[in-house]
Amino acid sequence: MNVKEFEKKEKNTAEITVYVTPEEFEAAVQKAYVKGRGRIQIPGFRKGKAPRKMIEAMYGQGAFYEDAVEALAPEALDAGLREQAVETVGRPSILDFNIGEDKSLSIKFRVSLYPEVKLEGYQGIAAPKPAVRVTKKDVEREIERVRTQNARIEAVEREAKNGDIVNIDFEGFIDGKPFEGGKGEKYDLELGSGQFIPGFEDQLVGKKPGDDCDVNVTFPDAYAPELAGKNATFKVHIHEVKAKELPALDDEFAKDVSEFDTLEQYTASVREELSEQRRGEAQSAFEEVVLSRLAEKVECEIPDAMVDEQVDQMMSNFRYNLASQGLEMEQYFNMMGMSVEEFRKSTRPTAEKQIRLDLAFEHIAKTEDFPVSDEDVEKEYQRIADQYKMGVDEVKRAVTADSVKTGLKLERAKQLVLDTAVAEKKSAEAEGDDKAEEKKPEKKTARKSSKKTEEKAGEKAE
C-alpha cells in the first residue's frame, strides 16, 4: 500500500488516495467471501457452501468488492497517513474507490487534519481584575440572610403578606380542563419568592386561612411548549398562613450561628468571609479573561470534525448532569422550547474556544518541555485515587503513566499562563474599605452620581 495522491483542502481537510496492490486486494476479497458466504443461498448448494466463482457468476464479479474495500479501508488509511506523517481528527470518509484492470484498488478518503498551531505571547497576558470591595450594606444583607434562615415559623390568624408562607392546595385549569402537572396539595409557598409563575403569588396576598380563591395567570412564552402563552385559572385553598419570626440581632444570635461570642466578632468574620469570597470571584473572573485572550492568540484552522467531537462531548456531559438531577435531555429541551440541533449550534462557539485552549496548552507544553519526574506521576496517581475514592493500583490499571505525564504537562502549561498574567489597572477603591464612602455626606441633587463600570469577565472555558 502506498499513497497515490495527497491534496490539502479548505478548513484543514485533505483528500488522500491510497493504492492497494492486486495481491492485497485479492486477499481481502477472499476474506470477504469467507465471511459473507453464509448469507448466500445458491440453488444446488447448501447455504454457505457455494463456491466463490458460482456466487460471482450469479451476482457479478464484484459481489464481495464493497465488503473487501470496507475491510481494507482502515489499514490502507493508516498506511497512507504514516507515509504522509500527518495526524487526523474525527472520522474519515471514503469518497470513492476504483478497481484497476489489473485488479488493483485505489481508495480515496477525506480526512480532517490535526491543526498546526502558531502561538506567540502566551506569557504576560494582560486582563482586567475586578476590585474587591465589601460594604457595610453587603455585611448587613448577609447577616439578614442568616437571620432569615434561622427564623422561627409560626402559624398566624391574619391576612397573608409578602414574606409569609402559605400552605395551599391548588389545581390549574385551561379552558375549563385540568392539565398535567398543575395540581398540588399542602404545598408551602413563600409569597414574594418567585417560585411560581408571575402573578400567582401576588394574588394570594391578603388571603386568610380557610379562604378559597381563583388565581388567574398567563404562562410565560418561554415555558413548556404545551403551556407557553396560555391563560390558566388555579383553584386555590388556603390551609395556613405562617409568619417568620426573626431572631434578635444580639450576642446570643452570634453564638447560635457561629463560633463567636459577640455580635461584633461575628460581624467582623462575615466581612472577612465576604472579602475572601469576592477575592476568589475576582481571581476567577481575571483568569477567565486571561484564558479567553489566550484562545484568541491561537492561530490555526480548526476542522469542523474537531468541533463536532467537542460538541458531542459537551452534550454527553450535559446529559449526565441533567440525569443526576432526575431530568432527561429531551424533557429539558421541551421545557426550554428548543431543539437538540439548536442547542448544539449554540454550543459550537464554546466548543471551538475550548479546542483553541487545548491546542494552546499542548503547544506551550511542547515548547517549554516541562520536566515530569516519577515522583510527580506517583503523586498524581494518589491525587486521582483520593478524588475518586479508588485504590492507587486500580487507578494505574485504568490510566497509563504516559497519560498522567501528559496531563501534568498540560496543567503546568495552563498554570504558566495564569502565573505570568498581568492585572490591568483596577478601580482605585480600596479593597474591603467602605469607611470613606460611609462618611461622605449625601448631595441633594437631581442628577444621579455615576460609578465606573468594571469590565466583566468573558465566558469561562470548559
pLDDT per residue over 330-349, tens digit each?
888 887 778 889 999 999 99
Q: How many CB atoms lie within 10 A of CB 16?
A: 25
Q: How far is CA 234 from CA 11, 137, 199, in A?
A: 56, 39, 12
- The pLDDT value recorded for residue 47 is 81
Using a 10 angstrom Cβ sphere, with 0-12 exposed, 13-18 middle and 19 or more buried, the burial of residue 40 is: middle
Query: Which cell numbers in the block locate residue 171?
Result: 389545581
What pTM was estimated for this model as a whole? 0.70
pLDDT per residue over 33-78, tens digit each?
999 888 888 888 888 788 888 888 888 888 899 999 999 999 999 9
- The pLDDT value recorded for residue 458 is 37
- Show the CA angle centred on residue 184, arms to residues 179 and 190, nearest 5°: 120
3-state secondary structure the chain: CEEEEEEECHHHEEEEEEEECHHHHHHHHHHHHHHHHHHCCCCCCCCCCCCHHHHHHHHCCCCCHHHHHHHHHHHHHHHHHHHHCCCEEEEEEEEEEEECCCCCEEEEEEEEECCCCECCCCCCCEEECCCCCCCHHHHHHHHHHHHHHCCEEEEECCCCCCCCEEEEEEEEEECCEEEEEEEEEEEEEECCCCCCCCCCHHHHCCCCCCCEEEEEEECCCCCCCCCCCCEEEEEEEEEEEEEEECCCCCHHHHHHHCCCCCHHHHHHHHHHHHHHHHHHHHHHHHHHHHHHHHHHHCECCCCHHHHHHHHHHHHHHHHHHHHHCCCCHHHHHHHHCCCHHHHHHHHHHHHHHHHHHHHHHHHHHHHHCCCCCHHHHHHHHHHHHHHHCCCHHHHHHHCCHHHHHHHHHHHHHHHHHHHHCEEECCCCCCCCCCHHHHHCCCCCCCCCCCCCCCCCCCCCCC
- Percent of the chain surpassing pLDDT 90: 73
Residue 386 has pLDDT above 60, yes or no: yes
pLDDT per residue over 65-119, tens digit each?
999 999 999 999 999 999 999 999 988 999 999 999 999 999 999 999 999 999 9
Domains recognised in the chain with CATH numbers: 2-113 (3.30.70.1050), 116-149+258-306+354-462 (1.10.3120), 152-245 (3.10.50.40)
Residue 363: pLDDT band by 50, 70, 90 thresholds? Answer: very high
Q: Which residue has the higher pLDDT, 221 or 435?
A: 221
Residue 225 has pLDDT above 90, yes or no: no
pLDDT per residue over 387-423, tens digit each?
999 999 999 999 999 999 999 999 999 999 999 999 9
Residue 431 has pLDDT above 70, yes or no: no
Residue 273 has pLDDT above 60, yes or no: yes
Residue 430 has pLDDT above 80, yes or no: no
Mean pLDDT of the chain: 88
- The pLDDT value recorded for residue 426 is 57
Residue 366 has pLDDT above 70, yes or no: yes
105, 18 Cβ separation under 8 angstroms: no
Residue 170 has pLDDT above 60, yes or no: yes
96, 236 Cβ separation under 8 angstroms: no
Q: What is the mean pLDDT of residues 182-190?
A: 93
Q: What is the mean pLDDT of residues 274-299?
A: 96
**What is the rounded CA–CA span in Å between residue 247 and residue 151?**
6
Q: What is the mean pLDDT of residues 238-246?
A: 94
Query: Which cell numbers in the block locate residue 397?
Result: 490499571
Q: What is the mean pLDDT of residues 13-24?
A: 94
Residue 313 has pLDDT above 50, yes or no: yes
pLDDT per residue over 432-459, tens digit each?
444 434 443 333 333 233 333 333 333 3
- The pLDDT value recorded for residue 46 is 80
Name the packing angle between helices 340-368 and 401-420 (round to 10°): 90
- The pLDDT value recorded for residue 405 is 97
